[in-house]
Amino acid sequence: VLLNSVYHAEKCFLSWFRDMLSPDQDYQVTWYASWSPCANCADLVADFLARHTNVRLTVFAARLYYGWAACYRQGLRRMKQEGAQVCIMYNEEFEHCWDNFVYNHGEPWVLCWDRLDENYQFLVTKLEEILR
């Protein structure tokens, strides 16, 4: 069962960003997300990239959303086919996101994810399998 993506960040961003695009400009967009896009959102992103060839997208995800489910895997592959780079966040990406996009009350980045190295390696391997 696919989730309704009415309030998913990807759908909100795409509808906002679409109105700001100029066909005369190239765009490089980097997203930081807690989870990789769901199947519906991945399809929306892939469709968007197919229509807007002047947009390059890199997605840094902290986790894979239902990475074992065929429709979610296919959504990530479609995004890649349309030019998106999908990556797993590591310490540097977490820290960059924290410093630049999180209202963190001036608190410094503190690594709080136990076994980040192991989780990162597992998720990178799993993502590589999906995107092959």
Output the furthest CA–CA distance in the chain (Å, rounded). 45
Q: Which of 73, 6, 4 is nearest to 36 (CA)?
A: 73
Residues marked active site are found at 10
User: pLDDT tens for residues 85-116?
Assistant: 999 999 889 889 889 988 888 888 877 767 78
Architecture of domain 29-131: 3-Layer(aba) Sandwich (3.40)
Instruction: Please state, in angstroms and rounded to a whole number, the distance separating the CA atoms of residues 60 and 34.
Output: 8
Q: Which of 10, 130, 5, 132 is nearest to 69 (CA)?
A: 130
User: pLDDT tens for residues 40-87?
Assistant: 999 999 999 999 999 999 999 999 988 889 999 999 999 999 999 999
Helices (H), 19-115: 39-51, 70-81, 91-101
In the three-class reduction of DSSP (H, G, I as helix; E, B as strand; rest coil), residue 105 is classed as coil
Cα torsion 117, 61, 30, 51: sign: positive
